[in-house]
Amino acid sequence: MILITEFMEEEAVERLKAARPTAYAPDLADRQEDIPARMAGIQALIVRNRTQVTEALLASAPDLKMVGGLGAGLDNIDLDACAAAGVEVIPATEATTLPVAEYVVANALILLRQAYQSGHAMKAGNWPQAACSGREVSGRRLGLIGFGAIAQEAARLATALGMKVSAYDPHVPVDDPAWEGATARHFEAILASSDVISLHVPLNGATRHMMNAEAFAMMREGAVVINAARGGVVDEAALADAMRAGHIGGAALDVFEEEPLTEEGAGVFKGLSNLILTPHIAGITRDSHTRASTMIADLVLERLS
């Protein structure tokens, strides 16, 4: 039997149902405590980013053979616990590479130009032409913290727009062909030299709040920050302080320390301009949703055959 706890394309769900007993309950991610009681007899669990696949959950799933991940990352899945339990983890990361890279480059354009959030002022009868002059991306430097598949795709798109690209990732070998599209630099050098900083790292003990007050102080005045990686990598309060001080020129955040972002949580950003907040959707487009759903459905049925 297959259990799906987050949204999946209808066609892929119907294909799974036609082949195997399948329960589609996309609201279960909001009721984590109800999932263990549903795990008896479940051989394949399909999740996105919110369902927490923990050691405790795995203990309630004696028949589980695999976990299919529809999202861009696997931070919500305890990979070590899955390995210990003999549960295969099947990610659909390739399906979301392009939309996240597009999100990064699109927001670099928006934040540097500082023109596309003027609608409210213009509807009020104002003409903020001087405030909207902004900067071009061509000739500016994009600094990538982490240089995996998504960052490499962002580098390709940014280079096509005339940007210079630097990246920091000690896990990518120096002879990797990916470096042909970017200059390898240390973390501090990336901060000091970039007009746009984009984060592409998982959340762990080493990366939590790696973008903190000290890091923001190292950045160029007026530089902008984009985080479509994981909430917690950026110290949100420190970012807000750096923006209010005028040192950081803008930010686009798709992920947050606490999700969903509440009105109280968003209060730290109150009054800030040149700020874009989106609800963890960088990797979610109609196109990527179809790709990921199709990919995971294919792989799950293949493994269960």
Question: In a 10 Å sphere around its CB, with 0-12 CB exposed, 13-18 middle and 19+ buried, how is residue 271 labelled?
Answer: exposed
Give me the pLDDT at residue 282, please: 95
Of 251, 258, 195, the residue nearest 226 (C-alpha) = 251
Which residues belong to CATH 3.40.50.720 in the chain?
2-91+285-304, 97-273
* Tens-digit pLDDT profile for residues 84-100: 999 999 999 889 999 99
Give me the pLDDT at residue 93, please: 81
Q: Which two tokens stand for residue 136?
A: 């071009």
pLDDT band at 178 (very low <50, low <70, confident <90, very high): very high
Which residues are known to be catalytic? Answer: 230, 259, 280
Give me the pLDDT at residue 74, please: 86
**Residues 191 and 215: beta-carbon distance below 8 Å:** yes
The maximal CA–CA distance of the chain, rounded, in angstroms, is 64
Q: Which two tokens stand for residue 124?
A: 């009020």
Sign of CA dihedral 251, 252, 258, 262: positive
Q: What share of the chain has pLDDT > 90, as a percent?
A: 95
* Tens-digit pLDDT profile for residues 108-157: 999 999 999 999 999 999 999 999 999 999 999 999 999 999 999 999 99
Q: Is the pLDDT of residue 181 over 80?
A: yes
Q: What share of the chain has pLDDT > 70, as a percent?
A: 100
Of 80, 88, 72, 31, the residue nearest 302 (C-alpha) = 88
Looking at the whole model, is its pTM more than 0.75?
A: yes
**Residues 104 and 228: beta-carbon distance below 8 Å:** yes
Give me the pLDDT at residue 305, please: 87
**Residues 43 and 21: beta-carbon distance below 8 Å:** no
Give me the pLDDT at residue 97, please: 95
Q: Is the pLDDT of residue 72 over 80?
A: no
Query: How far apart, in whole angstroms, are the C-alpha atoms of residue 136 and residue 140?
Result: 7
Of 272, 249, 269, 262, the residue nearest 196 (C-alpha) = 249
Give me the pLDDT at residue 256, please: 97
Q: Which CATH class is domain 97-273?
A: alpha beta
Q: Token match 């390709």: residue?
A: 156
209 contact partners, CB below 8 Å, separation of at least 6: 232, 233, 234, 235, 238
pLDDT band at 73 (very low <50, low <70, confident <90, very high): confident
Instruction: Report, as an integer, the average pLDDT of 163-182.
Output: 96
Q: Which two tokens stand for residue 150?
A: 């998504």
The CATH homologous superfamily for domain 2-91+285-304 is NAD(P)-binding Rossmann-like Domain (3.40.50.720)
Q: Token match 């530089």: residue?
A: 223
Q: Is the pLDDT of residue 187 over 90?
A: yes
* Tens-digit pLDDT profile for residues 254-267: 999 998 899 999 99
Instruction: Report, as an integer, the average pLDDT of 6-14.
Output: 97
Query: What average pLDDT does the structure give for the chain?
Result: 96
Instruction: Report, as an integer, the average pLDDT of 241-255.
Output: 98
Element (H, E) at 190: helix 187-193
